[in-house]
Amino acid sequence: MRGYEFLEKMGLIDPKYIEAADKPPVRSVNIRLKLGAVAACIAILIAVFFNLPRQEIPQLDPTQPTGTHTNNHGGAGGGGYSAYDISQITNANPWYDTAELVSLPIYDNPLSSNGAGEAWGADIAELKAFALDVAERLGLESPTMEYRNYRGDPVPEDSTGPTMVIIEADGVQIKVDQIMSARIDFEPAISLPQEYNPSYNMSYDEALAIAEYLKFEHSELLCMDDPQISIEGHYNFFGEPNYQVYFYNGSDNLTEEITNYNFRFIKFWCSDEGLSTVIIEQIDLSHKVADCPVISVSEAQNLLLDGQYATNCGDAFPGKEYIRKVELVYRNSVFDDYFIPCYRFYVEIPNIELTEQSDQNIKIYSTYYVPAIEGDYIEQLP
Amino acid sequence: MDDSRIVDLYLQRDESALSHTADKYGSRLRTLSYRIVADYPTAEECENDTYIQAWNSIPPHEPRNYLYAFLARIIRHISLNFCRHRDRLKRSAHIVELSAEMEACIPAPNDYECSVDDIVLKDAINSFLSRLDAEKRNIFIRRYWYLDSIEEICKRFALSESKVKVLLFRCRNKLRQQLIKEGYTL
């Protein structure tokens, strides 16, 4: 055996050691003191920085995933969607291209990554309050509550370790994690009346029919003044539909409605057995940074053509003639420092090679993100 | 989204598992691959292959508590394989350097097939690691599993370059001594 082969054999190392080596090392006291001094300097700089008349917002890191919320994620393996036609990639985004938006808010993300890819920094008391609120909406009686660390191990409430709150009762589990996302699992799944056909592969019409039913049947869980249905999905590589039901709260104010759509939505996840999971997103928007002027779609398109975009689809932008659709969304990956509005361009990828098992008529649409705020507000363009 | 939920999506054959995985770990996986293949398009190719292999491996695997380690192991293997098959090894000075360091651990390096099967070798390596203190173990793994440069390790652990080099040198010697003592022929 040679060194190269032995290097390969290092792949046999136990995953527990691999995980441990990926966590930030515990620093010595001296280093902590040094870091503390650096942090103090940074704090002063930030204080000065935000007293400036115009704030510069650190911008997208193009090496990071696009991660624009969990709506309508694609089936092309990251940043992409598959469908026979662009019209089959659906959602009910309240933004429209003739909307006269002057500015949009930018929010500071109060969470940070702990270095092991986990969000960190939420107030456990807020998680608990949110979990109890969801339990109340469901009318759970005598639920049990426990706290777990990010590995899923139970820990005491008053320790430093809890990162999630779990409530259980009557075959229902509510799990609230660091990003203020409450996942409700029903075991067994809640069956729906016979006329509905819940499944992982619902058509758009089947999902819409179920949405109308859920809107009425689960109004207390929705807890929205004006619930808007958003059927989100596309087709998979095999030509099967894949649509699910989302709701967000409508508003007369477009900015507020856009915010609700991107950060305050509820997903109803159906399996063949019925309603199996509900996810309620309540991302912390309490740290608004500024209202920033919004650029037009054509300005954003020029930036796209100039190569100033972020994507994680792996395909270089193929050209203007392949743009099929554009919408405004908030980039809200939990690992971003700021939640920033972006234009999301859906671009048909030409000459794609599909596997033999795929439906050869399926088209692949990749998504490219361009900041929707003026360049002056951006420290570093992607 | 936490790992357990992402794994749930794989188990339910929901393709959004792939985009969630890419969102959460894509950048880190690409970085790991790039260290090996030294070429961005190839690293992206390896990343995509990793997602496909993860899709095909979950189920039966359910890496709820070690999803990143699971994915990283796949992309490491794919990337090293790429180097082997495309003869790119010569193009990556970093890998050549790491291979030379690893060779120093082998009691009697030769060109013959490995005479120790993976299960035995796995036990030997993990037994060696279990005897190291946490910091040494982590540094060793950062160097030879994550393939970090010496500079990156210095920065990560706030140690001087000479200290890291000496520490790795001693670890390699210890591993070699252990393999000799336990009678392994590699």
Q: Return the number of CB contacts < 8 Å for A and B.
A: 179
Q: Which domains does chain B have, with CATH numbers?
A: 3-89 (1.10.1740.10), 94-181 (1.10.10.10)
Lowest-confidence range among A106-110, A378-382, B14-18, B36-40? A378-382
- DSSP letter at A373 equals B
Lowest-confidence range among A171-175, A320-324, B42-46? B42-46
Lowest-confidence range among A219-228, A266-275, B168-177? B168-177
How many CB atoms sit inside 10 A of residue A217's CB?
15
Task: Please say if the pLDDT value at position A214 is more than 90.
Answer: yes
Residue A152 lies in a domain: yes
Residue A73 lies in a domain: no
Residue A67 lies in a domain: no
Among the candidates A264, A281, A298, a domain finishes at: A281
Q: Based on the domain organization, do A202 and A297 belong to the same domain?
A: no
Among the candidates A260, A281, A302, a domain finishes at: A281
Residue A104 lies in a domain: yes
Task: Please say if the pLDDT value at position A249 is more than 90.
Answer: yes
CB contact under 8 Å between A18 and B109, yes or no, is no
Q: CA A201, CA A195: separation in Å to the nearest integer?
A: 16
Whose structure tokens read 């691999």? A18
Task: Please say if the pLDDT value at position A292 is more than 50.
Answer: yes
Q: Based on the domain organization, do A240 and A276 belong to the same domain?
A: yes
Average pLDDT over residues A315-320: 87
How many CB atoms sit inside 10 A of residue B107's CB?
16
Task: Please say if the pLDDT value at position B38 is more than 80.
Answer: no
Residue A26 lies in a domain: yes
Go through chain B and tell me how many residues it has.
186
pLDDT per residue as tens digits for the range A331-370: 777 667 788 899 999 999 898 777 777 788 889 898 888 9
Describe the strand order of the beta sheet including A164-169 as a list of residue ranges. Answer: A154-155, A144-148, A164-169, A172-176, A181-190, A274-281, A265-271, A241-249, A227-235
1-20 in B: which are within 8 Å (CB) of A? 1-2, 4-5, 12-16, 18-20
Residue A232 lies in a domain: yes
Q: Based on the domain organization, do A160 and A101 belong to the same domain?
A: no
- What is the predicted pLDDT for the residue at B117? 63
Q: Based on the domain organization, do A97 and A202 belong to the same domain?
A: no
- What is the predicted pLDDT for the residue at A141? 83
CB contact under 8 Å between B47 and A242, yes or no, is no
- What is the predicted pLDDT for the residue at A163? 85
Task: Please say if the pLDDT value at position A23 is more than 70.
Answer: yes
Put simply, whether A233 touches B (Cβ < 8 Å) is no
- What is the predicted pLDDT for the residue at B180? 78
Of A77, A181, A271, the CB nearest to B51: A77
Average pLDDT over residues A19-48: 45
Which residues of A fall within a CB distance of 8 Å from B51?
Answer: 77-78
Residue A71 lies in a domain: no
Q: Based on the domain organization, do A206 and A276 belong to the same domain?
A: yes
CATH of the domain at A323: 2.40.128
More confident residue, B85 or A217: A217
- DSSP letter at A194 equals T
Average pLDDT over residues A101-111: 88
Q: Based on the domain organization, do A195 and A298 belong to the same domain?
A: no
Query: Of A170, A209, A162, which is closest to residue A187 (Cα–Cα)?
Result: A170
Q: Based on the domain organization, do A119 and A260 belong to the same domain?
A: yes
CB contact under 8 Å between B2 and A118, yes or no, is yes
Q: What is the extent of the structural domain holding A102?
A: 80-112+287-377
Q: What value, to the nearest 5°, has the Cα angle with vertex A97 and ends A92 and A102?
A: 110
Whose structure tokens read 């994507």? A311
What per-residue string of b and e applies to B44-65 under the rule 16 or more CB within 10 Å gives b?
bbbbbbbbeebeeebeeeebbb
Q: Based on the domain organization, do A194 and A232 belong to the same domain?
A: yes
Of A18, A78, A333, the CB nearest to B72: A18
Q: CA B4, CA A150: separation in Å to the nearest integer?
A: 10
- What is the predicted pLDDT for the residue at A99? 81
Q: Based on the domain organization, do A316 and A350 belong to the same domain?
A: yes
Q: Based on the domain organization, do A272 and A243 belong to the same domain?
A: yes
Collapse the DSSP code of B136 into the 3-class scheme (helix H, G, I; strand E, B; otherwise coil) and give the result.
Answer: helix
- What is the predicted pLDDT for the residue at B165? 84
Q: How confident is the model at residue B173 (pLDDT cuts 50, 70, 90)?
A: confident
- When divided into structural domains, chain A yields a total of 3
Q: Based on the domain organization, do A233 and A355 belong to the same domain?
A: no
Q: Are A246 and A233 in contact (CB under 8 A)?
A: no
Task: Please say if the pLDDT value at position A151 is more than 80.
Answer: no
- What is the predicted pLDDT for the residue at A79? 60
Q: How confident is the model at residue A68 (pLDDT cuts 50, 70, 90)?
A: very low
ipTM for the whole complex: 0.77
Q: How confident is the model at residue A377 (pLDDT cuts 50, 70, 90)?
A: low
Among the candidates A255, A281, A307, a domain finishes at: A281
Residue A245 lies in a domain: yes
Q: What percent of chain A has pLDDT over 70?
A: 79
Q: Based on the domain organization, do A148 and A163 belong to the same domain?
A: yes
